[in-house]
Structure 1
């Protein structure tokens, strides 16, 4: 086994020596022939070396060959190489561009529809609330079959209240009324009203000619009973709240809108709402208010929309998807897929021509229909890479190419 290895080594070594000798002879002959045939002025000029660098650390330049800070052997950067131009960027061979599937588009002027989609829930209209209070102190004689959450109509009875204070005042009014003295009768009647008696109760006293010291507490408006604090046998004081009624004629739709797009909303802006409970149906409304506080945990603000509630179909707590409409506005647009979002900034990849590319930082605005508004960092007509830009961006990052600043657009830098 050892002798075979040595033999093979000798054969390979001898072949290599012969090849090297032949190559040396060939090079010598070719070199001599070239010197004999071509004049000195026609010889190719030596390539100019700009600096030496480590491909793993492209930003680190060295004056001559040697080792980089990572201990790697440096290589020369020639002046006639495509990446050594004065303009910062990276170069991609045209054939490689087709392989990468690069698609170039130009930033264009267009109109961007002011549309925004958010989610929200139905809530009671807090402006449509009625408070039921006792007009005078007394005792609860009877309660009707009501409970919080019940939907009642206007005038629905809640409880019967016995008010002893009214008995004496009503008897006095009837006595004065029998005297026929108009002035005294008017004063006595005014006293009944000041004691809290409804006009209907006073009219019943006048018709029947006898006191009515039991008052039926009724709802002043229709809606849902949100709270009910009256029970049989309890004593109530004048002004005590007995019930709270929330109307259902209109409801609020509270939408959670991200803070970043809050500037696009205006009071009175039309909206379209769809509900999971009513598939295929769209309800229209308008923004009634934009609340001033922001939810710190979700970074959203609440937009209040008032919707008509025909037949009471919309229930508080229902989930809705809201589309905020608006007039189309002119803007500088690029495809949304062309954007490179790093978390700290947004970039696009400029196509400078002849296979040369450079990242540029941009400031974006609204987004709709797969198009994004460019607020700053790009000029109309500038060409950018719409697909395959992430591969070029990775190469630019490895090569240490700096992105064009936002304020450098249109300056030729």
Structure 2
């Protein structure tokens, strides 16, 4: 009975000793305020910490744990996680890359086809227009049941006009002819010409010996009636337009060429036309003009191709595609889908060893056949991401990886320590935000 209190006292003293040892160990393990941690407690492995940052503001770097400018706990950035490590770029787990469907390509030297394709529409040849006008005051007696849109042949009757003044002049001419005075006959005939009568009409009056005050006006060329300004019973004045006839022997094919590609074309080069109305059939022609005006809405230049319309098969309004032939030229090529266009610059995503990726700024040239010419920023044989590069670019941006500048095509680029690091074209959640939060207590910038 006397030893029982002593036993309880020994147990209490032992417990206090254990608590003291634990507190002492905690003091030894905890880092001093203001010093960046260089070890992690998990698994006892050494991991070098480059800096502390807030995943929401990845461009802000801190030497130790604490609060960011957004009052969020900062987390450590380890050297073996990529970013500004010795290997450069951002590391993506290979299994995750496979799940994202990432595909790769290699920058290679090849021949870029010179062919350029553009949409096109068949239109009237505006140079082949005949304007029919009245040469004297008169009255419309007949219009031969014509209407705009009718296709007529050359020499077809268009309208009958009653012209009283011509009847009187023809009667005087016939009377002078009977006098036999050559000078008077010549003067009277010249008067008919000045009144606007054609040589064929004057010859008809001379043969018949009778005046003709009703004149049939015919079309000077075949084609389609674009406008018809007369109807039976109406009066007309001298110089009034009666009709406009647009010829169909030739047509224009107007192609909408992007302004960035217009400089590749030359007037006179060969053209191949494929029309939706004639699948599988090809028409050939030559580029006759590049219009000087730029279409503002579509940012295109109009290329005009004049083509022979055999059999009238090519109808204005038909839709098709134009292929401008040209010789191929050697170039450094990458798939067009691999290029990220931000509006300010063009970027491709480099596929580095050990599952790392880094954006690289490039200068692009022409495009053809799904391939884009690289003028600067890549070397022959460099491996790039052809599909899934937008998500990787987002990861690189949030991890603080800057794009490799044009002109530096060897070795990685370290991420800058200032908040002016280059931004990517897209934004997505980074894996760094899944790391454990660091102890609180900001140590300063």
TM-score by length of 2: 0.73
- The secondary structure found in structure 1 opposite 2:281 is strand
Separation in 1, partners of 2:104, 2:323: 32
Counterpart residue number, 1:362: 362
Counterpart residue number, 2:396: 396
Q: 1:105 to 1:174 in 2, by over 3 A?
A: same
Displacement, 1:90?
2.2
Alpha-carbon contact 1:249-1:310 (below 8 Å) kept: yes
Separation in 2, partners of 1:83, 1:76: 12
Separation in 2, partners of 1:218, 1:164: 19
Separation in 2, partners of 1:234, 1:71: 87
In the TM superposition, 1:277-288 aligns within 5 A as: 277-288=277-288
Alpha-carbon contact 1:65-1:76 (below 8 Å) kept: yes
Counterpart residue number, 2:119: 119
Separation in 1, partners of 2:372, 2:277: 33
Query: What is the alpha-carbon root mean square deviation over aligned residues?
Result: 3.4
Separation in 1, partners of 2:82, 2:315: 68
Q: 1:54 to 1:183 in 2, by over 3 A?
A: same
Separation in 1, partners of 2:173, 2:124: 44
TM-score by length of 1: 0.78
Counterpart residue number, 1:308: 308
Displacement, 1:365?
2.7
Stretch moving more, 108-117 or 129-138:
108-117
Counterpart residue number, 2:272: 272
Counterpart residue number, 1:292: 292
Counterpart residue number, 2:242: 242
In the TM superposition, 1:223-234 aligns within 5 A as: 223-234=223-234
Counterpart residue number, 1:196: 196
Over residues 9-43 of structure 1, what are the superposed CA-to-partner deviations in whole Å (9 max), with x where a residue is unaligned?
xxxxxxxx9xx99xx9xxxxxxxxxxxxxxxxxxx
Displacement, 1:219?
0.5
1:213 aligns with 2:213: yes
Gaps spanning 5+ residues in structure 1: where? 1-16, 25-45
Gaps spanning 5+ residues in structure 2: where? 1-14, 23-45, 414-445
Q: 1:185 to 1:51 in 2, by over 3 A?
A: same
Counterpart residue number, 1:372: 372
Separation in 2, partners of 1:64, 1:220: 92
Displacement, 1:243?
1.0
Separation in 2, partners of 1:357, 1:262: 36
Counterpart residue number, 2:39: none
Matched length: 375
Displacement, 1:410?
7.1
Alpha-carbon contact 2:83-2:400 (below 8 Å) kept: no
Displacement, 1:164?
2.0
In the TM superposition, 1:38-49 aligns within 5 A as: none
Separation in 2, partners of 1:284, 1:158: 35
